[in-house]
Structure 1
Amino acid sequence: MATTTVWFIIIAFLWTGYFFLEGFDFGVGVLLPVLGRDDTERRVLINTIGPVWDGNEVWFIVAGAATFAAFPEWYATLFSGFYLPLLAILLALIVRGVAFEYRGKRDDARWRRRWDRAIFWGSVVPAFLWGVAFANLVRGVPLDAAHEYAGTLGDLLSPFALLGGLTTLTLFVLHGAVFVALKTTGDVRRRANRAARVMVTAAIAVGGLFLLLTQLLYGKPVTWLTVAAAVTGLAVAAVAGARGREGWAFAGTGTAIAFAVATLFLALFPHVMPSTLDAANGLTTSNAASSPYTLKIMTIVALTFTPMVMLYQGWTYWVFRRRIGTHHIPRPVA
């Protein structure tokens, strides 16, 4: 297997891990005003992801760094052509991170409500725009002969791209609802289960339509299998959620996200950024890659350190595996 193909697979793996882990973070943020009826319940929701949300974002940083090192031409064209959407995502992530840290700095209800809104919008914006960005990668964008983006912001907002954004948003909200149900007790858990039953229907409808269109327009024979696996994951989540099997439901939503990402990357390969102006202008794993020596050194580093990082992150989740409820939240001191 060519080294460029290996790195395409590694980058696909990193994005899959990011969407799987950060997906439920986004979902919890979107559901914060829905599932949390008072400040104590909202603190429970935030505490479900408190120990892990910043670690989950590391996957995004590593995916971006890996793209820069392995496929610099792809990185340059992507970040210049998608500048405004990616800037909006970065600003939203910054605001959300600040909100998590600053929310409890003052004992003031209005202060906390403002930061709660920041968490909500800081979760909605990237959850939607990531889907828009990846739908555009699969669909293709206008690239000229120099591999420069030759379109406008409006070219990135096609109906297919907007449907991709709605797909990631609904999938992440469903993933977050199931995660909250898995991690909490009492009223918050019951509301999360109800929200998951509503969201799984929306995810099947929106996500199923997007994956079907992706398959019909850009798919390959092998992607029928990944589309079927993603839909099966949603079906498992629906059945398990209805039976109160929250662990299986979470596995189902995670499977759906993983195979949805696999569908997009398989439909994209061997391109990394197709051109809608002329197929010859598109970027592929060959013409966008670094030198073979650079890829060889990167492969050694990745195979050495990636398992260590995954073991450490798995240990973190094991330490914070127990459910939490409102009785775990300390009462304010007068």
Structure 2
Amino acid sequence: MELHDVWFVLIAVLWTGYFFLEGFDFGVGVLTKLLARNRTEKRVLINTIGPVWDGNEVWLLSAGGATFAAFPEWYATLFSGFYLPLLLILVCLIVRGVAFEYRAKRPEENWQRNWEHAIFWCSLIPAFLWGVAFGNIVRGVKIDRHLEYVGNLGDLLNPYALLGGLVTLTLFTFHGAVFTALKTVGDIRERARRLALRVGLVTAVVALAFLLWTQAHSGNGRSVVALVVAVVALVAALVANQAGREGWSFALSGVTIVAAVAMLFLSLFPNVMPSTLDAGWSLTVSNASSSPYTLKIMTWCAGIATPIVLLYQGWTYWVFRKRIGTQHIAEAAH
């Protein structure tokens, strides 16, 4: 296996980790309107992800940085062709982070309500747009002989990519509902489990349609294995949720995300961005990669830094592992 193949796998792992972790906190952000009945319950939901949401975004920074360094042609074509949706995602992530920090800075109801709106919309929009972006990456876009994107925004809003957006939105919301049930106590926990069932059933329908479409379009023997794992894990997550086994349900919904993302990358390889104009103009792991020396240095750096990041983030989740409820919110306690 060449180093550019190794880095394709590592970038796939980084995106998988990002969607697994950021997926549930996007879902919790969406649930602030779908599940919470009052301001106290919204605080409970926000507090479940408060200690970890910013750490989850490290995976996005790592994935973007690794793509820039390992596959500069891929990075340049991707970020120029998908400029508007990626800019919208970036703006949402900035506003969302500010909303988490500023919401409780003032007691006025309008102030807190406006930041809660920001948390909801800036969770929902990226959750949808990431699916649209990756749907287009797998499907292929208009890339010319100079390896440059020559399409427009309308080309990105095709049925396959929009279905991909619905999949990530519903799957992340389900993942967030299961996480909420795992991290809370009392009535909100029971309602989260009931909502997880409803969202999970919708997710199963749209995800199955999208994955089957992906398999028919660009799948192979390896990707069909990932498809089966994703479907089985999602069904098992629904069963575990109904049985009140939130830990198993969360783990299995995570397996669903991991398998679904793995299927996309397995369907994509050895391309990184297929061209719909001419297959010979597609970006691949070989023609889009950096020099072998650059990849070698990156491999050594990743081998040193990655275990440290994993240990630190694992420790963070361990420290903030306990459940919370409305009784833990100061105003509710008095």
What's the TM-score bracket when you normalise by the shorter of the two chains? Answer: over 0.9
Give 1:34 shift. 1.9
TM-score relative to the length of structure 2: 0.99
Counterpart of 1:237 in structure 2 is 237
Give 1:332 shift. 8.0
Give 1:318 shift. 0.3
**Matching of residue 173 in structure 1 with residue 173 in structure 2:** yes
Amino acid at match of 2:52: V
Amino acid at match of 1:113: R
Counterpart of 2:184 in structure 1 is 184
Give 1:147 shift. 0.8
What do residues 264-301 of structure 1 show as CA deviations (whole Å, max 9, x unaligned)?
00000000001000111110000000000000010011
Counterpart of 1:288 in structure 2 is 288
What do residues 214-245 of structure 1 show as CA deviations (whole Å, max 9, x unaligned)?
00111011111000000011011110011111
**Matching of residue 26 in structure 1 with residue 26 in structure 2:** yes
Give 1:64 shift. 0.1
Counterpart of 1:143 in structure 2 is 143
Q: Distance in 1 between matches of 2:198 and 2:166?
A: 15
Moved over 2 A (4+): none
Give 1:37 shift. 1.1
Q: Distance in 2 between matches of 1:208 and 1:34?
A: 24
1:72-151 matches, within 5 Å, as: 72-151=72-151
**Matching of residue 10 in structure 1 with residue 17 in structure 2:** no
1:211-250 matches, within 5 Å, as: 211-250=211-250
Counterpart of 1:316 in structure 2 is 316
**Matching of residue 256 in structure 1 with residue 251 in structure 2:** no
Give 1:36 shift. 1.4
Amino acid at match of 1:161: A
Give 1:118 shift. 0.3
Counterpart of 1:329 in structure 2 is 329
Q: Distance in 1 between matches of 2:322 and 2:105?
A: 26
User: Which segments of 5 or more consecutive residues in structure 1 lack a partner in the other structure?
Assistant: none
Q: CA contact under 8 A between 2:40 and 2:332: conserved in structure 1? A: no
User: Which segments of 5 or more consecutive residues in structure 2 lack a partner in the other structure?
Assistant: none
Amino acid at match of 1:322: K
**Matching of residue 46 in structure 1 with residue 49 in structure 2:** no
RMSD after superposition: 1.1
TM-score relative to the length of structure 1: 0.99
Counterpart of 2:275 in structure 1 is 275
Q: Distance in 1 between matches of 2:39 and 2:117?
A: 13
Amino acid at match of 2:264: L
